[in-house]
Structure 1
């Protein structure tokens, strides 16, 4: 879209801006509680973000990353292709159909559904209509935690 810009220079500028903000980063509301509730359960992070960036952001918030991590560089085709979620399911050692994916973007929902996962739309950045392929939509991470609890995480079905 901006062919006149140098991607490497723009990446360096973005990295400088993000580094300045690192000290002010706070976890998303409900994230610490949700991640604590997952303690002892297999879960993964699947992101198009760069490994170094994601690791730094999690460290800045004091949140622990899961053992299974899938980054954009780990797959040949990014979201909305299903590759990232298929890889995460494989690394978790479970069928994709048993994976619940929480996504806030249409491309992520599309990728999760294409991989055969159960998709939950988080309406913090897009509308429920935009996340229309999701099995269910929720407004917050606290709602995700309630959903998992209500369905007996691991035993219930959506």
Structure 2
């Protein structure tokens, strides 16, 4: 059974120049939002998501809350997934979207070094070709078993429109 987990980056505009991006995570079943971390029970496994953002251009610290950015800046989003339960979680789909006023800085990939060896990963970009400038939904299909205590990470970068 596939578990679909959606992770979003909400946009907040504080002035006509600076943008602030707030990463949020929630489960598809109950739509709960708890700060930046959401848990989704699965059998005897439990999936916990943490989304962070870092302004690569300004070399800001990684943040679970938000970052301030200027047009042209590169932001890196990291979605960590952890099975905090004891049982396996089978076949997941992580779903995120490029934030408003941004586009992919590079093609989105699955880095095998950031994933448990028990998982294989495929990327889907239903709103167009997975390349520089892509805007829209990003889906990471993680096939296999995420055992209790295991975690992994998916990463993507966006550029804020000028």
| Structure with more of its chain in helix, by fraction | 1
The two structures have a TM-score, normalised by structure 1, of: 0.25
| Structure with more of its chain in strand, by fraction | 2
Structure showing greater relative contact order (alpha-carbon pairs closer than 8 Å, 6 or more residues apart): 2
Q: Which has the larger radius of gyration?
A: 1
